[in-house]
């Protein structure tokens, strides 16, 4: 399941994030790479423990917590602290699959990477290339969104970042462990949730059918969820 989250960050939040990270010291992006990824990855990144990354990441986490679409699509259990990367001058990230488990450096905090997130922090007309190319069950999809928008997709999918040939692509990226491990089950719950919300708009929140469908949703969630 690939889900675009529009307007996750408003202009003020984007400005706050960029003012923090643009003044920070960027390093080789392979500081967080596994062996296979390091062979394909050429970019810059903020260190995980950089104060600017932590402050900017909290702005993004707060925005995600206010996003009903994100909650419905991800059903998050644990979220890895947001990281930040930059591509310019032909830099790219070749085809890879994200590591199955991400461990926060210097801590015991670990996340099974069920879903990956990219939050775009630069307007698409400010750079050429840089598309996030994801191989899905419905074919290859390329994603290049306006600043403040995000895309959520299975970490198990093959994906890459195309070379940036003009300008600079800046984004936040991270992973989460969902309460629902199986992507197919998560998709069914998401579709059911959208149907419940649509029916509620048409019939009213207290309609018997809305209450019944809500019960079905929560009983399926109860059956499948890890909490």
Structure-block tokens of residue 154 = 């299975």
**Based on the domain organization, do 194 and 145 belong to the same domain?**
no
pLDDT digits (tens, 9 = 90+) for 160-199: 999 999 999 999 999 999 999 999 999 999 999 999 999 9
Residues 90, 132 contacting (CB under 8 angstroms): no
**Based on the domain organization, do 142 and 215 belong to the same domain?**
no
Residue 224 CB partners (closer than 8 Å, separation 6+):
179, 180, 182, 185, 189
Residues 121, 18 contacting (CB under 8 angstroms): yes
Q: Indicate which CATH number applies to the domain containing 111.
A: 2.60.120.620
Mean pLDDT throughout 80-95?
Answer: 97
Report the distance separating Cα 111 and Cα 84, nearest Å: 18
**Based on the domain organization, do 199 and 124 belong to the same domain?**
no
Report the distance separating Cα 221 and Cα 153, nearest Å: 20
Domain that holds residue 164: 3-178
Q: Indicate which CATH number applies to the domain containing 219.
A: 4.10.860
Mean pLDDT throughout 70-83?
Answer: 98
pLDDT for residue 29: 75
**Based on the domain organization, do 196 and 149 belong to the same domain?**
no
Burial class (CB in 10 A: 0-12, 13-18, 19+), 142: exposed
**Based on the domain organization, do 17 and 78 belong to the same domain?**
yes
Report the distance separating Cα 158 and Cα 204, nearest Å: 42
**Based on the domain organization, do 108 and 17 belong to the same domain?**
yes
pLDDT digits (tens, 9 = 90+) for 32-66: 655 555 667 899 999 999 999 999 999 999 999 99
Residue 94 CB partners (closer than 8 Å, separation 6+):
39, 40, 41, 160
pLDDT for residue 31: 67
Mean pLDDT throughout 107-132?
Answer: 97
Count structural domains, the chain: 2
**Based on the domain organization, do 57 and 87 belong to the same domain?**
yes
**Based on the domain organization, do 142 and 209 belong to the same domain?**
no
Residues 142, 131 contacting (CB under 8 angstroms): yes
Structure-block tokens of residue 49 = 């423990």
Mean pLDDT throughout 101-123?
Answer: 95
Which residue intervals of the chain are DSSP H helices?
Answer: 11-21, 35-40, 51-65, 68-74, 183-203, 208-224
pLDDT digits (tens, 9 = 90+) for 128-148: 999 999 998 889 999 999 999
pLDDT for residue 137: 82
Instruction: Determine what percent of the chain is predicted with pLDDT higher than 70.
Output: 96
Residues 40, 91 contacting (CB under 8 angstroms): no
Report the distance separating Cα 141 and Cα 81, nearest Å: 26
Residues 178, 114 contacting (CB under 8 angstroms): yes
**Based on the domain organization, do 139 and 170 belong to the same domain?**
yes
Cα 169 → chain centroid = 16
């Amino acid at each position: 399941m690939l889900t675009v989250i529009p307007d996750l960050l408003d202009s003020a939040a984007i400005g706050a994030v960029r003012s923090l990270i643009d003044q920070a010291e960027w390093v080789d992006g392979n500081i967080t790479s596994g062996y296979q990824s390091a062979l394909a990855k050429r970019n810059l990144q903020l260190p995980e423990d950089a104060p600017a990354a932590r402050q900017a990441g909290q702005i993004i986490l707060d925005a995600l917590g206010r996003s009903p679409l994100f909650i419905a699509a991800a059903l998050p259990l644990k979220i890895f602290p947001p990281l930040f990367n930059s591509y310019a001058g032909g830099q790219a990230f070749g085809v890879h699959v994200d590591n199955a488990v991400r461990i926060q450096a210097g801590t015991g905090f670990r996340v099974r990477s069920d879903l990956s997130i990219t939050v775009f922090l630069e307007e698409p007309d400010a750079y050429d290339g840089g598309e996030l190319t994801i191989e899905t069950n419905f074919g290859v999809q390329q994603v290049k969104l306006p600043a403040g928008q995000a895309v959520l997709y299975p970490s198990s999918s093959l994906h890459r970042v195309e070379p940036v040939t003009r300008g600079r692509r800046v984004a936040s990226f991270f992973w989460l462990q969902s309460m629902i491990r199986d992507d197919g089950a998560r998709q069914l719950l998401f579709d059911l949730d959208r149907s419940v919300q649509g029916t509620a708009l048409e019939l009213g929140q207290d309609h018997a059918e809305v209450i019944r469908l809500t019960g079905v949703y929560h009983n399926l969630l109860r059956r499948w969820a890890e909490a």
